[in-house]
Amino acid sequence: MAAEPAMTLKKGKDMHQIQMLRKYDIRLNKVKGQNFLVDENIQKKIAAALNPQRTDWVLEIGAGLGAITDLLAGSGARIFAVEKEKIFSEILSEELGSFENLTVLNRDILKVDFGEWLRKSGALKAGQRWKVVGNLPYFITTPIVFRLIDAREAIDSALVMVQKEVADRMTAQPGGKDYGRLTLALRYYADVSFEFEVGRGCFTPVPRVDSAVVRIVFHGKRIEGLDEALMFRIIQAAFAMRRKTILNALSGGPFSLERNGWQEIFSELKIPANKRAEELHLKDYIELTQLVQPRLKKE
């Protein structure tokens, strides 16, 4: 069945973010990661990239003063806007209260089991999976991304704006310094794409770094019989000592397998033991785990 055409993305109250800050006499706190997106073209670009439909359920993380919330609610989709700061959530309710399809939640996303909340929501009962969108504070980006991964069964996709450096890590290719545990975790569970850059001048106060928007589409593919927890323990141990060879890193890791056992496995997989963690592809870690798994079980 073809998707319903997206609604026109228009604002409920045509007020710029700078005007909102002045209206409520708000002083933003850089320490709390309060860098507000004030470029209206980028706001519209993000909302259009999410492409909310009337039947969608959307979770917005860190709604702030509603720059994107307003556009999303105008699509007719069911919007749940999570905002940690009480004053911001009160302003959201005041300014956007006319939208019956909008629910504002004054919550700290890191102190809520939102994965469980998403799974128990009415979306799944209605045959829908969630869309997630958010301008993620730089200092809690990685924990939030891993929470999205944990809640992947309830989430169709996520469109997140993150620090450019983190976006590079999320979409990195093997062999580079940005390639690591975060890259592999996302690649195992989802298709990830770099959408567009957002310059630091699009925010107030202006941060010291540029940002980028990344799309995560969870695909639901699994490798039957693979001990995923073991695989990520192997990945974590490998990248914990990036400067060491993969053989030295894993031989010194928290595993009962002896060095010669690792050597035998690398030889069987035709992986040179002098390679480093960032040189291995996801399939290498999968195959490595599949061979290590039975050996550890026998011990």
**Strand, helix or coil at 20?**
helix
The angle formed by the CA atoms of residues 250, 294 and 298, to the nearest 5 degrees, is 100
The angle formed by the CA atoms of residues 212, 15 and 84, to the nearest 5 degrees, is 55
193 CB neighbour count, 10 Å cutoff? 12
CA pair distance 108, 66, nearest whole angstrom = 17
DSSP string, 37-78: E--HHHHHHHHHHH---TT-EEEEE--TTSTTHHHHHTTT-E
The angle formed by the CA atoms of residues 166, 72 and 194, to the nearest 5 degrees, is 25
pLDDT value of position 32:
63
Consecutive 10-residue averages of pLDDT for the chain (299 residues): 43 68 81 81 96 95 93 95 94 93 94 83 82 92 94 95 97 95 96 98 92 96 92 96 93 90 95 95 97 79
Could you tell me which of 136, 44, 40 has the C-alpha nearest to residue 84? 136
Distances (CA, A) of 100 to 75, 97, 104: 12, 7, 11
CA pair distance 23, 25, nearest whole angstrom = 6
Domains of the chain: 17-218 (3.40.50.150), 228-298 (1.10.8.100)
CA pair distance 150, 156, nearest whole angstrom = 13
Query: Which tokens in the block code for residue 164?
Result: 């450019």
pLDDT value of position 15:
62
pTM: 0.90
pLDDT value of position 12:
46
pLDDT value of position 298:
55
4 CB neighbour count, 10 Å cutoff? 11
Could you tell me which of 130, 156, 134, 129 has the C-alpha nearest to residue 145? 134
Go through the chain and tell me how many residues it has: 299
pLDDT value of position 20:
85
